[in-house]
Amino acid sequence: MLTGAGISAESGIRTFRDSDGLWHDHRIEDVATPEGWQRNPGLVLEFYNQRRRELHKAQPNAAHIALARAEETFDVRIITQNIDDLHERAGSTKVLHLHGELKKARSTADPSLIYDIEGTELNLGDRCELGSQLRPHIVWFGEDVPAMPLAAQIVQTADVFAVVGSSLVVYPAAALVQYVPPTAPIFVVDPKDVSVPTWREVIFIKEKASVGVPKMLEAMRDFFTEDKRKGE
């Protein structure tokens, strides 16, 4: 399962590219690139402090909760582009964050030094144990996505694949669709049309995540029951 900003929209966290999205108020180059960090680290820290304050007030919604409960029936592996922790707070146990985590900071001297952020603020002058400034533990545009090989491995072994709330325009995450085994059906839950980079048939559920995810899980249960019957 690949989730994107859309799954957290109903929790009050803005997506990036919708009309009220974050990229309407902020320039990507200023707040989500290594060059932006070099130019004005204070601005970047304040952008993510705002995101953290927003997340502090947010709760998981029906879609996060349905995916967590689905672990009772399925071996659910969530690969998320989101930096929030709403999947974990809903109770999902296997969550891989492709683009980092908002509630963590990392050393600018040694990327293996990662720390939990207490509260919502990370400021200039907050240092790692080596004395270097801490930065948000976020994969910015133009940076490597270290979790990609593991994500591709997870997708390659899937019996069914789903994309929830992602415009699929950010690479390499969008390319994960290409690793789906030919026998695994592909579902997409999104209220808008999404262009999926595959020639394969895709089952679209054109709903908001809170409605679409429970519908999708029902369709998956039907698929596996039928599949089992065929095999008997």
Residue numbers of the site for ligand NAD (CB under 6 A)?
Answer: 4-10, 13, 15-18, 21-22, 81-84, 99, 165-167, 169-170, 190-192, 194, 208-209
Where do the H-state alpha helices sit in the chain? 28-31, 34-39, 41-57, 62-69, 86-90, 148-156, 209-231
CB of 81 to ligand NAD, least distance (A): 4
CB of 51 to ligand NAD, least distance (A): 8
Residue number with CB closer to ligand NAD (99 or 137): 99
CB of 80 to ligand NAD, least distance (A): 8
Residue number with CB closer to ligand NAD (19 or 183): 19
The residue of the chain with the least Cβ separation from ligand NAD equals: 6
Q: Using an 8 Å Cβ cutoff, are 162 and 67 in contact? A: no
Residue 121: name the closest of 59, 58, 45 by CA.
45
Strand-pair partners of 162: 187
Sign of CA dihedral 155, 153, 81, 197: negative
Residue 37 sits at φ, ψ, to 5 deg, of -60, -40
Residue number with CB closer to ligand NAD (21 or 41): 21
d(CA 139, CA 210): 27
User: Is 64 tagged catalytic?
Assistant: no
Residue 219: name the closest of 187, 192, 196 by CA.
187
Residue number with CB closer to ligand NAD (216 or 220): 216
CB of 74 to ligand NAD, least distance (A): 20
One of 64, 97, 99, 137 is an active-site residue; which one? 99
Instruction: Write out the catalytic residue numbers.
Output: 99
